[in-house]
Structure 1
């Protein structure tokens, strides 16, 4: 009897540098790729927001569609299912006589709870759920400290990691894949089936962000070898003016952090892009840091009080102030322009996120959790660790208390728009 392995795709929608996929192919006769559109990811939340908004849902569907197309080029497909993974996967294991199930481990509570439940159910079927880690630049086992001893201060984490850990080479994209025979591979859901309480009629189809692995690799190549990347090589741009916009593809795993790292190493050798290279790697390290902090502290980042036990809590109310911030109608030109950009595109850069978050927390006095939940709805590069970790830091309830005094709104204004150019453009 042939050995079959079910490969459960989640936020790892790529073929390059995918250890889970490479090992599944090597240790099986056939694989069954599966993606589940979990209805819980598209529900209303307790924070007067939607779990996944239209722009984010569109980017996800595009990314899954691109993965399907890639697997079809190998003569197979990916099984598209709508429902809860813990209800669907055990049934597939029985139906197709699956020997093992492979998946990438997540760090946030909802995702890990689902993995645990599936692991327990599969155990009753005498089938192993094997965990892989493919979302970070540095592997957990390669860090110079165990998770429980990871420094809370980012600068210490960065210094020790860069000094004592190595970035491993990427896994090669498979040459060939043998697939389990499936009669009906399923169809991708329409956006109208996923999105709730949001108009999708005016959703733009010509966004600069289109989901999928090929789009991600093309964007990375263009960024390194044309446009801003080349301009920086000629010293015509300052490093803090460069925004790579790679994060949407990193968030869904269409792009591997290690792929970014090694491609930038090549660019550094070819063009001498040291300032540019350091800035992007810094962003990758921040992603790693928050993922590891989530493993260390689990649910603490989701609590309004965060790491401060004694805190005067602001009500989780759907106020007019919160609504004005969400819709970009606060009366502050720069904040409003940035929020309108977020609503229209699903993306704003890191400095803009910190500015609008600081405004919500310290100027409008709205509970930071409401802002974090809204970003979860809107951001196409949403990932729990980075989003909730950054919001907790801005609100002064994060694990690194050294950063709590960094978020003064007037200071943020000078950093983001020192000459008022953004505000003038918004006024025009």
Structure 2
């Protein structure tokens, strides 16, 4: 009898720790780790559906981060006597070919809840089945396992607070952290408990394993111009965000333990400048270089060894927000991407104005707090949560431009993009998603509250550096004489505001 051989299909789970799909693949005697560079994830694509528009699917910042993550994963596998086979092409074409070449018995993968990712999984499953190969799915990107939810997915609350309280109560009652009582093992083989899986022992490659292949360059994926824009990190950025599991674990160590920043997370999380006002774990979480269960285990260990306070709770609180949107998309599917949202709101007159949208995207709205955040996003692929809320609210609520175009622009630019978190938060701000409360932000109040001395604005808008903080946030208040005195002429050195805030 031949020794069983598996394929480990890596997607957005570029890690060896707490990786249920890879661990299951390693139960075979031979395993071939595979990554497919899917051309559908790059270049200009239509958004789809009514009132569609074209947008760039993946920009240079995330493409660089992804390739660094794959290089790190490949290096880790080679250190363990294995390798990462990289192929360019649609997974439903690539994986059956590799499976046939090595006579694989099964393929493992982490499943994802959004329709686009689910369609790819289904196509792969169909093609593999035709070749007599089984696709085994695992759920492994949330803190709470899908099978650990204290309610059926169809009964999932559409408000975060209700969801959070139910999950916290179930975890407390079960005494297992993040699983339902009795959920020792999920139906697909994933553990439902809170402890992360250990790194598996990696079996060797089969003798007939295909050539590993080369990783593409950033320019191969996004074009030379965009790739060059991402070549040198902007020294104003909060972090360089090096991709990969190694960098992810280093960041956890430096933020939680070496820097001891976790104890002040709640108080500092609305910061705008510097590496440590928040954890900055999101790029590694969303690309799968870091497991949320690993983060939770480190928080637990920190509480045991150093301090348990509101800040340690709040980091887990934010991980549950991330979970919430993953499960919302599993529940509502493609409705989450509709302009009317899951609330089917038809009472909002969404506009299309390409010129206004381009001003917003370029950070030239004439509203400094919005512009500073958009320029940080364009230069680095990142902006704070506070900045995202304000930039999104300005587009959706002040300009009333189609919120999906803003969300799609974030999809292109963000180094930490995740479809559920990104579109879920945009819909929330736009008033068509979760929670019925009005989510419009007073951008001027927010600027003065969170950037009191205008240090952030002046960092990203150096043309306003000479202005006092009040005028740096509201330059339209400058008289003609003051503009001349400070050397800032509206409409020349800095744009006139798109919205009349003169009251």
TM-score interval w.r.t. the shorter chain?
A: over 0.9
Match of 1:323 among 344, 358, 365: 358
Select the structure that is richer in helix: 1
Is the alpha carbon distance of 1:128 and 1:176 closer, same or farther for their aligned partners in structure 2, counting shifts above 3 Å?
Answer: closer
Matched, 1:169 2:170: no
Q: Separation in 2 of the partners of 1:271 and 1:196?
A: 48
Q: Paired residue for 1:359? A: 394
Matched, 1:179 2:180: no
Q: Separation in 2 of the partners of 1:132 and 1:59?
A: 24
Matched, 1:17 2:38: no
1:7 and 1:31 in contact (8 A); partners too: yes
**What does 1:42-61 correspond to in 2, within 5 Å?**
42-46=42-46, 47-61=53-67
2:393 and 2:440 in contact (8 A); partners too: no
Q: Deviations over 1:140-176 (max 9, x none)?
A: 1111111111111100100110110333211001234
Is the alpha carbon distance of 1:211 and 1:238 closer, same or farther for their aligned partners in structure 2, counting shifts above 3 Å?
Answer: closer
Displacement of 1:98: 0.7
Q: Deviations over 1:275-329 (max 9, x none)?
A: 2212211111011000000011001111111122423442455x11111111111
2:270 and 2:386 in contact (8 A); partners too: no
Q: Separation in 2 of the partners of 1:292 and 1:42?
A: 26
Q: Paired residue for 1:310? A: 346
Q: Separation in 2 of the partners of 1:239 and 1:354?
A: 14
**Which has the higher relative contact order, 1 or 2, with Cα contacts under 8 A spaced 6 or more apart?**
1
Displacement of 1:126: 2.3
Displacement of 1:7: 0.6
Q: Separation in 2 of the partners of 1:377 and 1:198?
A: 15
Q: Indicate the larger mover: 306-315 or 88-97.
A: 306-315
Q: SS state of the match for residue 152, structure 1?
A: coil
Displacement of 1:183: 4.2
Matched, 1:387 2:422: yes
Q: Separation in 1 of the partners of 2:250 and 2:204?
A: 27
Is the alpha carbon distance of 1:56 and 1:375 closer, same or farther for their aligned partners in structure 2, counting shifts above 3 Å?
Answer: same
Q: SS state of the match for residue 101, structure 1?
A: strand
Q: Indicate the larger mover: 3-12 or 17-26.
A: 17-26
Is the alpha carbon distance of 1:305 and 1:232 closer, same or farther for their aligned partners in structure 2, counting shifts above 3 Å?
Answer: closer
Q: Give the TM-score of the pair, scaled to structure 2.
A: 0.80
Q: Paired residue for 2:482? A: none
Q: Paired residue for 2:163? A: 157
Matched, 1:194 2:221: yes
Match of 1:88 among 68, 73, 94: 94
Displacement of 1:49: 2.5
Matched, 1:253 2:254: no
Displacement of 1:405: 3.9
Q: Give the TM-score of the pair, scaled to structure 1.
A: 0.94
Q: Paired residue for 2:120? A: 114
Q: Paired residue for 1:76? A: 82
Is the alpha carbon distance of 1:60 and 1:239 closer, same or farther for their aligned partners in structure 2, counting shifts above 3 Å?
Answer: closer
Segments of 5+ residues of structure 1 without an aligned counterpart are none
Is the alpha carbon distance of 1:266 and 1:35 closer, same or farther for their aligned partners in structure 2, counting shifts above 3 Å?
Answer: same
Match of 1:216 among 206, 230, 248: 248
Match of 1:270 among 305, 308, 326: 305
1:57 and 1:191 in contact (8 A); partners too: yes
Q: Indicate the larger mover: 406-415 or 352-361.
A: 406-415
1:360 and 1:366 in contact (8 A); partners too: yes
Q: Separation in 1 of the partners of 2:457 and 2:76?
A: 43
1:101 and 1:129 in contact (8 A); partners too: yes
Q: Separation in 2 of the partners of 1:24 and 1:383?
A: 25
1:42 and 1:196 in contact (8 A); partners too: no
Q: Separation in 2 of the partners of 1:22 and 1:223?
A: 28
Q: SS state of the match for residue 86, structure 2?
A: strand
**What does 1:95-110 correspond to in 2, within 5 Å?**
95-110=101-116
Q: Indicate the larger mover: 271-280 or 217-226.
A: 271-280
Q: Deviations over 1:363-404 (max 9, x none)?
A: 2221101100000001111010000000001110003223x3
Q: Deviations over 1:233-270 (max 9, x none)?
A: 9x9x6565431100000001100000000101111222
Q: Paired residue for 1:31? A: 31
Matched, 1:40 2:30: no
Matched, 1:368 2:403: yes
1:308 and 1:397 in contact (8 A); partners too: yes
1:3 and 1:98 in contact (8 A); partners too: yes
Q: Indicate the larger mover: 204-213 or 408-417.
A: 408-417
Q: SS state of the match for residue 136, structure 2?
A: strand
